[in-house]
Amino acid sequence: MRDISKEGWRGVWAVAECHEGCLMPVSLELVSKARELADKLQTEATAVVFGHGISGAVCDTLMEYGAHVVQLVEHEALAVFRDDVFARVLTGLILSKRPEIVLAPATYTGKAYMPRVQTMLETGLTAGCLELDIRSDDRVLIQTRAAWGGNLFVNIVCPDARPQLVTVSPNVMIARRVVAEGRVERPEVPFEWLKSGMEVTESVHEKQDEAVRLTKADVVVVAGRGIEKRENLKLLQELADALGGAVGATRAITDLGWLPEYTQIGQTGVTVSPRLCITFGVSGAVQHTVGLRNIDILVAVNKDPAAPIFEMATYGIVADVNKILPVLLEQVKKIRCKSPA
Ligand SMILES: Cc1cc2nc3c(=O)[nH]c(=O)nc-3n(C[C@H](O)[C@H](O)[C@H](O)COP(=O)(O)OP(=O)(O)OC[C@H]3O[C@@H](n4cnc5c(N)ncnc54)[C@H](O)[C@@H]3O)c2cc1C
């Protein structure tokens, strides 16, 4: 690792994520956290946003959630995501402005460009942080994440190199409005930074849209290995549809190829925070449950009364999925039919 003097590195950045000009909710969570850390460090919080056709409303929103400064880089070369270009532009800006901390989303895109940024800057990167705080005596960022297969939570620090880079999953931090008082800066970026070694031939939106739908859903129905049969997924989808929700999965299910990878909830998947979550045949391994955050009501169905999922469940149902799922689905459908439109 490069030995960089810590002097002259000031400020906390949050990299915002926009899809076709629309700000993704994780951006507000990150900018709020950046503001909280910046206040502790008595420095400025900056939101960085790249793209093409980004409206003034996006910058206003970032300021409403805590950005003192919005660094807006707009260019048609940034309309489509290419990790080499995003990484080069972000690295170039970091080297010119020298923030001490940079938070980026642990999304498909953030996970693609941040390792490149880390390599170019020769500093540390902690992926998938669940909590962040400042060590008051030396401005060091305490980066909490799951480790050792998720069985432990560890605090990681990067005491000698700057900047301190982290990624944070959507739904982990809380977005908070403040009194907006920011300014927008539009740094010029050299043409060479925008050159890519990749050619994007097609953008597939469906997957991203579905993944976003899962992370935003108010109701999530989770399939675990205990559903036993692939046919049961159809019933789970019907249940989710009847409740106006989405289907998520444990790694056991995505590894089997029964559901796409983007439905995986947990340490190496997405984080969800629905009001109601119903798990079927999920044991409750910590690598999965770290992805269940701020849930109002968790209902767990498992045939083993000792399954760890019951320790965190609001309501536990000790039953065989094959027996209870059709009954539950029928009851929910009946209630739905009776409810006024
Ligand atoms: C580094 C690392 C990262 C990981 N990341 C993730 C991650 O992001 N997400 C994730 O989900 N996992 C992750 N895992 C895997 C995780 O450790 C677990 O193996 C996984 O979550 C287990 O999935 P499961 O609960 O579906 O299956 P199991 O642990 O096999 O549990 C199945 C459960 O179903 C119950 N059951 C069986 N039959 C029935 C029935 N007929 N009716 C009712 N209940 C029944 C059983 O009692 C059991 O409790 C990770 C592991 C590692 C090492």
Q: How far is the CA of 81 from the centre of ligand 1 (A)?
A: 33
Please tell me the least confidently modeled range out of 35-44, 160-169, 183-192, 329-338. 329-338
Domain 206-338 is classified in which CATH homologous superfamily?
TPP-binding domain (3.40.50.1220)
Pocket mutation for ligand 1, best pick of 283, 310, 322 (most atoms within 8 Å of C-beta): 283
pLDDT band at 339 (very low <50, low <70, confident <90, very high): low
Provide residues with CB under 6 Å of ligand 1.
149-150, 224-226, 228, 250-252, 264-269, 281-283, 285, 287-288, 301-304, 307, 320-322
pLDDT band at 140 (very low <50, low <70, confident <90, very high): very high
Q: How far is the CA of 8 from the centre of ligand 1 (A)?
A: 47
- Say what percent of the chain tops pLDDT 70: 95
pLDDT of residue 305: 97
Q: How far is the CA of 299 from the centre of ligand 1 (A)?
A: 16
Q: How far is the CA of 225 from the centre of ligand 1 (A)?
A: 6
- Over residues 277-321, the pLDDT tens digits come to 999 999 999 989 989 988 999 999 999 999 999 999 999 999 999
Please tell me the least confidently modeled range out of 3-17, 93-107, 150-164, 196-210. 196-210
Atom of ligand 1 nearest to the CA of 321: 42
- Over residues 62-119, the pLDDT tens digits come to 999 999 999 999 999 998 899 999 999 999 999 999 999 999 999 889 999 999 999 9
pLDDT band at 56 (very low <50, low <70, confident <90, very high): confident
pLDDT band at 206 (very low <50, low <70, confident <90, very high): low
Check whether 218 has a pLDDT greater than 60: yes
pLDDT of residue 4: 61
Check whether 45 has a pLDDT greater than 70: yes
Mean pLDDT over 320-341 rounds to 84
Pocket mutation for ligand 1, best pick of 225, 254, 277 (most atoms within 8 Å of C-beta): 225
Higher pLDDT, 6 or 313: 313
Q: How far is the CA of 83 from the centre of ligand 1 (A)?
A: 32
Architecture per CATH, domain 12-202, reads as: 3-Layer(aba) Sandwich (3.40)
321, 228 Cβ separation under 8 angstroms: yes
> Do the domains 12-202 and 206-338 sit in the same CATH topology, yes or no?
yes
pLDDT of residue 341: 47
Pocket mutation for ligand 1, best pick of 221, 267, 272, 298 (most atoms within 8 Å of C-beta): 267
Atom of ligand 1 nearest to the CA of 320: 42
Q: Which of 2-16, 106-120, 168-182 has the highest mean pLDDT?
A: 106-120
- Give the closest residue (by CA) to ligand 1 atom 26: 224
What residues does each domain of the chain span?
12-202, 206-338
Please tell me the least confidently modeled range out of 150-154, 156-160, 168-172. 150-154
Q: How far is the CA of 117 from the centre of ligand 1 (A)?
A: 34
